[in-house]
Amino acid sequence: MNKQTFTTGQILGITLLNRMSIYRYVKDFPAFFSPTAQQHKKGRRWNLNDLEVLQAIKYLHHTHNSREEIQEILTAGWRPAIKTVYDLERIATYFDELFAVSMETKEAQKEIKKQLAKVEMNNQLASTMEKSITHLSTRLSEMNEELLKIKYYLKSPTKPQRREFFRVWQQFKNDLQKAWYEEEKAKE
């Protein structure tokens, strides 16, 4: 018999059985499997005989044979026809490549999620900055209006009017700074 061996992942792809079914078949019919196929740890390897036995059990199970009947048929040496080794190697290689692409896809999905999170964070930051700019432009407009008043009052001829203006201006500036400080503190 050829020394060709397969991983459990390759066997899953070739036989189209699920992992639990394969392990159950090995447990129920241990006499028909190689020692490497009966390992209970990572690194389990399957040879062509193991593959033929799995295919036989799969066929017999799906044709509603009992465990005892399957045992008798396997003991008699019946096995289904398996494709050539070349085809099995090609199928095994295909499933290895498919698994590698699947892993690359998962890594790409993780990276896309990270980038989307960064974009979302940047969008939130841009929105916050836009609100701050709008708020600052409103404050700047108010200050420009006050500056126009200052210019007007500076042209006034009397000292009491100028004093009154500067008092009002100082009060406005203090109120503005206090309001701005409270807004900034509330944002934090």
Helix (H, G, I), strand (E, B), or coil: what is residue 30?
helix
Q: Tens digit of pLDDT for each residue in 86-139? A: 466 677 777 777 777 777 888 888 888 888 888 888 888 888 888 888 888 888
DSSP assignment, residue 167? Answer: H
82: exposed, middle or buried (Cβ count in 10 Å: 0-12, 13-18, 19+): middle
Q: How far apart are the C-alpha atoms of 95 and 13, rounded to whole Å?
A: 6
Q: What is the mean pLDDT of the chain?
A: 82
- Which ranges of 80-158 does DSSP label H, i.e. alpha helix? 85-154
Dihedral of CA atoms 5, 9, 12, 18 in degrees, nearest 10, equals 140
Report the topology of domain 5-82.
Answer: Multidrug-efflux Transporter Regulator; Chain: A; Domain 2 (1.10.1660)
- 153: pLDDT confidence band, cut at 50, 70 and 90? low
9-26 mean pLDDT: 88
Instruction: Answer whether 29's CB lies under 8 Å from 57's CB.
Output: yes
- 166: pLDDT confidence band, cut at 50, 70 and 90? confident
66-71 mean pLDDT: 91
Q: How far apart are the C-alpha atoms of 164 and 47, rounded to whole Å?
A: 101
pLDDT on residue 9: 84
Rounded percentage of the chain residues whose pLDDT exceeds 70: 89
pTM: 0.46
Q: Which amino acid is at 113?
A: K
Structure tokens at 29: 């019919």
Residue 28 has pLDDT above 90, yes or no: yes
Q: What are the extents of the domains in the chain?
A: 5-82, 104-187
pLDDT on residue 146: 81
